[in-house]
Amino acid sequence: MEQVCYRYDGSFQGFLTCVFESYVHKEPPAAFLTFWDEETTLWSEREVETHEPHAQRVYKALGEKGTPLFRHRLERAFLTCLPDRELILYGLIRRCLDGEGKRVVSDLSDPVMARVTLALQKLFTEEDHLRGFVRFSDVDGMLVGEIEPKNRVLPLIGPHFAARFNGERIALYDRTHREAFFYADLQWRILPVEEFHIGPAGEAERAWRGLWRRFYKTIAIEGRENPKCQSAHLPKRYRHVMTEFMEEETNAALPAKLP
């Protein structure tokens, strides 16, 4: 059996299509790259267009031979920043479909499963964090924000904000993965975005930010300062896009990237 490098569109559907192709051509993957990745490998390449019915067949098989929960975890694990996540998930899928079935699912002390579980935990932690730590600015009536997450959390947190602020228009940009979540009129979409600039904040916006900063400072109890505890809960890497950690008003809507 010859190994190949799969090139696909980076979506979960696309990934499942690759799995399907690997069965058809009996070509196990040596690597996965997306159409946009500039790297090349020494392996011969197979380009795979996302094919929904094929992806669907793999998806169904995973629910039957594995469990729906296992399948759901794979889908989520696909959003994590686990290095070589596609290869790792591919390995689990093969083991599940080629005979181990539900055993893969329940063996949490299996070393590969343990790594995936850890990555998932980090994803969910980041999701939880960002539900709270995202800061929006009102720019001409639209709620605009930026994040710089490790994992691809937009598909998880975007819909949460859409439901919560369903009467608003929202744009939330992910600097790491260069994509943005857009919402208006009960519809949302995640699109690749190369550059994202927000205009300067208006007077009202600056006033609200000032009030928030004041509130934030005021509620800390003197004599109880505890930077260790604070950092344990609110890791420093989130702070550069949070209003309360920005010193007085810069004119930009949001601070620039950390140096």
Q: How many residues does the chain have?
A: 259
Nearer to other proteins, 97 or 170 (CB): 170
Q: How far is the CB of 186 from other proteins (least distance, A)?
A: 8
Name the minimum Å distance from CB 174 to other proteins: 16
25 vs 160, which CB is nearer to other proteins? 160
Going by C-alpha positions, the residue among 9, 65, 59 that lies closest to residue 32 is: 9
Q: C-beta of 19: minimal distance to other proteins in Å?
A: 25
By beta-carbon proximity to other proteins, the closer residue of 14 and 66 is 66
Of 109 and 187, which CB lies nearer to other proteins in the complex structure?
Answer: 109
In angstroms, the CA 181 to CA 154 distance is 7
* Closer by beta carbon to other proteins, 83 or else 223: 223
Structure tokens at 138: 């009102």
Q: What is the DSSP letter of 20?
A: H
- Provide, rounded to whole angstroms, the least separation between the CB of residue 138 and other proteins: 7
CA 220 to chain centre: 32
As a whole number of angstroms, the distance between CA 41 and CA 238 comes to 34
Strands 29-34 and 4-8: parallel
Q: How many CB atoms lie within 10 A of CB 164?
A: 10
CB of 16 to other proteins, least distance (A): 26
Residues lying near other proteins in the complex (CB under 8 A) are found at: 103, 106-109, 111, 114, 128, 131-138, 143, 145, 160-168, 208, 210-212, 214-216, 218-221, 223-230, 232-234, 242-244
- C-beta of 63 vs 210, nearer to other proteins: 210
- Treating both helix axes as pointing N-terminal to C-terminal, what angle do 68-77 and 111-133 enclose, rounded to 10 degrees? 70
Q: How far is the CB of 128 from other proteins (least distance, A)?
A: 8
Instruction: Supply the DSSP symbol for 221.
Output: P
Q: How far is the CB of 103 from other proteins (least distance, A)?
A: 7
| Alpha-helical regions (H) of the chain | 12-24, 52-65, 68-77, 85-95, 102-106, 111-133, 154-164, 203-219, 227-233
CB nearer other proteins, residue 109 or residue 251: 109
Residue 235 CA: distances (Å) to CA of 48, 81, 129, 158, 243: 39, 18, 9, 21, 15
